[in-house]
Amino acid sequence: EILGIAYYLSIILLFSLELFEIVFALALLAALYSTFLLAVQIFVLRDLCSWCVLATLINYAIFISSLFL
């Protein structure tokens, strides 16, 4: 939880400082890691957490929007 909060706050801070390259890099890493965790849920645990899927979708949205900065 704390790591996720730190991630979202750092994205907001870096965006406000107009450090778009770093926002892109963090968003890319978060999207890749979220994809890995989603794959673990599907293929290993064989169960989905609705909050985890929502966080993955939010990370994808941040990543896609960072492509246009």
Each residue's pLDDT tens digit, 51-64: 999 999 999 999 99
pLDDT at 1 over 90: no
What pLDDT does 32 receive? 97
User: Cβ neighbours of residue 7 under 8 Å, at least 6 residues apart?
Assistant: 26, 30
Query: Residue 52 has which token pair?
Result: 């985890």
pLDDT at 69 over 90: no
* Burial (CB count <10 Å: 0-12, 13-18, 19+), residue 27: buried
Task: Convert the pLDDT of each residue in 2-51 to its tens digit.
Answer: 999 999 999 999 999 999 999 999 999 999 999 999 999 999 999 999 99
CA atoms of 56 and 31, how far apart (whole Å): 7
CA atoms of 40 and 46, how far apart (whole Å): 8
CA atoms of 29 and 59, how far apart (whole Å): 9
